[in-house]
A and B are shown apart, each in its own frame.
Chain A
């Protein structure tokens, strides 16, 4: 009998867009994640893109993506009975991941100190824009503002255009969620060893400088303040090149001699065999010329040929993907990475990027579509907490569930 890696870990999620990727990671590897939404459903459900472009709380593709494999209940924490239910749920969970504004849960009497009394082993991971301490603790933020404050936005874009956000999703939130997921499991490990829970304070603002470590540390070492460089790079062969049938991204790094050898073999080296190019500083200075020589070399070749020849020489080359061709990528297809998830209510199946882990002897896949609003109310309130049907109806009537 195989077991999922995190099977048995019970997680309560009180998270918005900032933290849902963290709990998705936990859920995909088998943790039992129960999402707590306010009555009517979380604000995430109003975020597009929507299924067939129809805005509806149970049709947000954004919500679908981040909430697969989770269960969901609705609960109004601003009522005393709602908070009582919440305390009862916390008592039997290992982990609480939350993204409410600093001090909000304390104000309701369900902050870390209070929850620790109910469940001393609880790991409470708080993901907030600027952290639970410091002068900006009460500032509002968004993904854009976090990318800006963390130093990422400033270096993205062209010298003559405004700084531009790194797209494709809320990348500052992803960054924070990734850190939070590791921190949560480290704290869980500790709780299991010692019986002692703790609160983990993850500041989204603070996760970005790590993303930027190379330029931060170069600044620290040399005083060079990186500016926006568009498609340029500090190094030669560290960018897009156009092949006969599409664009490749090629990274040369430290393989200069292999690179020149390759070009020499095909009589396309121009002057690059000149000994002056042995000096890295000279190469960096001449990077545009080197890029031009290579561009002329690859423009008549196919992407497959360039990729194979480069990889043979440990020069790192990959095709440039749009979202469209990620799906047909031979490596991902071979690894059966994309997982169709069935949505019976829509009479449809949606294909998602899967779980980036393969575990020998333990499955890692997406099992279940994202939950509908309040889908697991009966299961959790009646079966787990032992409420009667009448009691649940009364909670509904009073706007608590």
Chain B
């Protein structure tokens, strides 16, 4: 098989920021033709995080990551000519996707009814933060407010202490990729029924599915769970233990008696096998403070990688607490080709993490860089849509299309 799984699928992508572009990233990597629509009046907000001087909107790491393998065009949807071209693109697309607050696509004349009149089997994925119905439907949000909304902040941190800001490992990719799941589900539906479909996907709801058993615990048992640090009700030891160098750690999780025996042997502390404080899971849990101290004594003499190898050889789940710097050196991730260097205009060669799915026995094709603003106007509007050169020039003159941003912010 030569082709990639989604070759032949065309996605008209009005998403911006992070979650939306994450939703179409997998499809783009696996062969779909994703046409990303921005405008010279309003570029994708993720570009505003750029750190370069000239054309600052071409330097954003987030933008350049999630938009790899996509085609980029500009189109001013508030201009009637731009809206007309968008409708022409709808006619030749399989999927339309957006993450605007409810109502905006209708304002551009691109609501589901309008799309269906143009293309009866079109699939529309609306991935607004709060969905298409409800009192907050027009509200804006971003990942971190939603993560805390779902209780994730409340549930992360030391018991009795403050929560911590988990936004630095933002939740957008999760709710975003669930948008990709909606997209693939809709294509399945169309394939099975021959009909188009509109999916109203609310990211806030998706966030709450990540705390489901905590929610069920409250609903059934009335228990309002809160932070418990690294403690796990079915495991001890369970946590991050300090290693030899300052601020280096190894994570260790021991659930079963076998694993505990492995841990004692790995540490060269066989006498603990007969210590009644630690004989069973519940014993270890009750005496976890003492146990943690014993484990920390041992880990403090080792490097995280060294401790990992010894513990794993004894059947104990353990691993280096990687910092961003050390993760790039991780032998497993390197062996699996997780980090890919891509050459892109303005920023040069940068390493990006690729999709975590591997389709076995097939060569992974190298990524194409994220498009610069309006990079594929000629390809998409000229070649695919067939607009004559003269029309393209007029559109550029009327600032319906272009390659240089007019905006200082999105």
- Asked whether, in the complex, the Cβ of B181 is within 8 Å of the Cβ of A25, the reply is yes
With A155-B169, A168-B214, A327-B219 known as contacts, the answer to whether A217 contacts B134 (CB < 8 A) is: no
Among B268-276, B321-329, B378-386, the stretch that binds chain A is B321-329
User: A213's closest neighbor in chain B, by CB?
Assistant: B65
B247 is an interface residue with CB less than 8 A from chain A: yes
User: B351's closest neighbor in chain A, by CB?
Assistant: A220
With A320-B148, A350-B220 known as contacts, the answer to whether A139 contacts B410 (CB < 8 A) is: no
Complex alpha-carbon distance, A133 and B332, angstroms? 9
B365 is an interface residue with CB less than 8 A from chain A: no
Q: Can you list, as one digit per residue, whether each of A172-201 has a CB less than 8 Å from chain B (1) or not (0)?
A: 001110111111011111101110101111
Minimal beta-carbon separation of A144 from chain B (angstroms): 5
With A156-B156, A194-B1 known as contacts, the answer to whether A352 contacts B215 (CB < 8 A) is: yes
Chain A contacts with B in 83-122, Cβ cutoff 8 A: 112
Q: Which 3 A-B pairs have CB atoms at the shortest separation, nearest pair first? A: A217-B61, A148-B251, A185-B184
User: B193's closest neighbor in chain A, by CB?
Assistant: A3
A387 is an interface residue with CB less than 8 A from chain B: no
B223 is an interface residue with CB less than 8 A from chain A: yes
- What residues on A are CB-neighbors of B61 within 8 Å? 213-214, 217-218, 220-221
- Asked whether, in the complex, the Cβ of B242 is within 8 Å of the Cβ of A6, the reply is no
Complex alpha-carbon distance, A397 and B357, angstroms? 41
Chain A contacts with B in 334-381, Cβ cutoff 8 A: 334-335, 337, 348, 350-362
- Asked whether, in the complex, the Cβ of A251 is within 8 Å of the Cβ of B144, the reply is yes
Q: Can you list, as one digit per residue, whether each of A205-217 has a CB less than 8 Å from chain B (1) or not (0)?
A: 1110111111111
Q: Which of A211, A319, A352 contacts B170 (CB 8 A)?
A: A211
- Asked whether, in the complex, the Cβ of B191 is within 8 Å of the Cβ of A189, the reply is yes
- What residues on A are CB-neighbors of B170 within 8 Å? 211, 214
Chain A contacts with B in 201-245, Cβ cutoff 8 A: 201-203, 205-207, 209-222, 225-234, 238-240
Q: Can you list, as one digit per residue, whether each of B312-327 has a CB less than 8 Å from chain A (1) or not (0)?
A: 1001111111111101
Q: Can you list, as one digit per residue, whether each of B170-211 has a CB less than 8 Å from chain A (1) or not (0)?
A: 110110011011101111110111010111111111101111
- Asked whether, in the complex, the Cβ of B213 is within 8 Å of the Cβ of A61, the reply is yes
Chain B contacts with A in 298-345, Cβ cutoff 8 A: 308, 312, 315-325, 327-328, 330-333, 335-336, 338
Complex alpha-carbon distance, A3 and B158, angstroms? 46
Q: Which of A62, A169, A200 contacts B357 (CB 8 A)?
A: A200
A132 is an interface residue with CB less than 8 A from chain B: yes
- Asked whether, in the complex, the Cβ of A316 is within 8 Å of the Cβ of B140, the reply is yes
- Asked whether, in the complex, the Cβ of B145 is within 8 Å of the Cβ of A326, the reply is no
Chain A contacts with B in 309-336, Cβ cutoff 8 A: 311, 314, 316-324, 326-327, 329-332, 334-335
Chain A contacts with B in 18-70, Cβ cutoff 8 A: 21, 25, 29, 47-49, 51-53, 61-62, 64-66
Minimal beta-carbon separation of B297 from chain A (angstroms): 15
Complex alpha-carbon distance, A323 and B222, angstroms? 10
- What residues on B are CB-neighbors of A254 within 8 Å? 45, 48, 409-410
Complex alpha-carbon distance, A136 and B333, angstroms? 9
- Asked whether, in the complex, the Cβ of B150 is within 8 Å of the Cβ of A326, the reply is yes
Minimal beta-carbon separation of B310 from chain A (angstroms): 12
Interface size bucket, B side?
35 or more
- The 27 sampled A-B contact pairs (Cβ below 8 Å) are A25-B181, A51-B220, A132-B358, A133-B358, A141-B319, A145-B317, A145-B318, A146-B319, A149-B322, A155-B169, A155-B324, A162-B239, A163-B249, A166-B152, A185-B184, A188-B188, A200-B358, A202-B356, A206-B353, A210-B356, A211-B174, A215-B168, A226-B323, A330-B135, A330-B136, A332-B208, A334-B133
- Asked whether, in the complex, the Cβ of B181 is within 8 Å of the Cβ of A5, the reply is no
- Asked whether, in the complex, the Cβ of B234 is within 8 Å of the Cβ of A48, the reply is yes
A164 is an interface residue with CB less than 8 A from chain B: yes
Complex alpha-carbon distance, A335 and B227, angstroms? 28
With A142-B235, A192-B191, A360-B112 known as contacts, the answer to whether A186 contacts B26 (CB < 8 A) is: yes
Among B74-82, B159-167, B395-403, the stretch that binds chain A is B159-167
Q: Which of A155, A169, A311, A320 contacts B139 (CB 8 A)?
A: A311
Complex alpha-carbon distance, A135 and B208, angstroms? 35
B110 is an interface residue with CB less than 8 A from chain A: no
The listed residue with most A CB atoms (<10 A of its CB), out of B135, B163, B225, B251, is B251
Q: Can you list, as one digit per residue, whether each of B270-302 has a CB less than 8 Å from chain A (1) or not (0)?
A: 000000000000000000000000000000000
User: B61's closest neighbor in chain A, by CB?
Assistant: A217
With A133-B336, A194-B1 known as contacts, the answer to whether A144 contacts B181 (CB < 8 A) is: no
- Asked whether, in the complex, the Cβ of B338 is within 8 Å of the Cβ of A318, the reply is no
- Asked whether, in the complex, the Cβ of A219 is within 8 Å of the Cβ of B324, the reply is yes
With A334-B134, A350-B216 known as contacts, the answer to whether A321 contacts B148 (CB < 8 A) is: yes
- Asked whether, in the complex, the Cβ of A317 is within 8 Å of the Cβ of B216, the reply is no
Interface size bucket, A side?
35 or more
B387 is an interface residue with CB less than 8 A from chain A: no
- What residues on A are CB-neighbors of B104 within 8 Å? none
The listed residue with most A CB atoms (<10 A of its CB), out of B138, B165, B232, is B165
Q: Which of A130, A220, A334, A362 contacts B332 (CB 8 A)?
A: A130
- What residues on B are CB-neighbors of A5 within 8 Å? 185-186, 188-189, 197
With A209-B338, A213-B173 known as contacts, the answer to whether A354 contacts B205 (CB < 8 A) is: yes
Q: A49-B217, A162-B249, A233-B165 provided; 19 other pairs, C-beta below 8 A? A: A3-B189, A61-B216, A131-B358, A133-B335, A135-B331, A158-B162, A164-B229, A168-B210, A174-B174, A178-B174, A189-B187, A192-B191, A194-B1, A200-B357, A250-B145, A350-B216, A354-B205, A356-B203, A358-B132
- What residues on A are CB-neighbors of B251 within 8 Å? 144-145, 147-149, 153, 163
User: B232's closest neighbor in chain A, by CB?
Assistant: A144
- Asked whether, in the complex, the Cβ of B133 is within 8 Å of the Cβ of A62, the reply is no
User: A180's closest neighbor in chain B, by CB?
Assistant: B357
Complex alpha-carbon distance, A321 and B211, angstroms? 12
- Asked whether, in the complex, the Cβ of B164 is within 8 Å of the Cβ of A164, the reply is yes
B62 is an interface residue with CB less than 8 A from chain A: yes
- What residues on A are CB-neighbors of B315 within 8 Å? 140
Minimal beta-carbon separation of A163 from chain B (angstroms): 4
- Asked whether, in the complex, the Cβ of A140 is within 8 Å of the Cβ of B320, the reply is no
- What residues on A are CB-neighbors of B250 within 8 Å? 148
- What residues on A are CB-neighbors of B255 within 8 Å? 142
- What residues on B are CB-neighbors of A186 within 8 Å? 5-6, 26-27, 30, 184, 357
A297 is an interface residue with CB less than 8 A from chain B: no
A262 is an interface residue with CB less than 8 A from chain B: no
Minimal beta-carbon separation of B7 from chain A (angstroms): 9
A275 is an interface residue with CB less than 8 A from chain B: no
Complex alpha-carbon distance, A92 and B260, angstroms? 42
- Asked whether, in the complex, the Cβ of B186 is within 8 Å of the Cβ of A169, the reply is no
B151 is an interface residue with CB less than 8 A from chain A: yes
Complex alpha-carbon distance, A110 and B328, angstroms? 35
With A47-B234, A132-B360, A322-B226 known as contacts, the answer to whether A168 contacts B155 (CB < 8 A) is: yes
- Asked whether, in the complex, the Cβ of B1 is within 8 Å of the Cβ of A151, the reply is no
- Asked whether, in the complex, the Cβ of B321 is within 8 Å of the Cβ of A153, the reply is yes
The listed residue with most B CB atoms (<10 A of its CB), out of A48, A66, A142, A157, is A142
- Asked whether, in the complex, the Cβ of A65 is within 8 Å of the Cβ of B219, the reply is no
- Asked whether, in the complex, the Cβ of B322 is within 8 Å of the Cβ of A151, the reply is yes
Complex alpha-carbon distance, A332 and B324, angstroms? 36
With A182-B181, A190-B5 known as contacts, the answer to whether A219 contacts B325 (CB < 8 A) is: yes
B391 is an interface residue with CB less than 8 A from chain A: no
Minimal beta-carbon separation of A389 from chain B (angstroms): 35
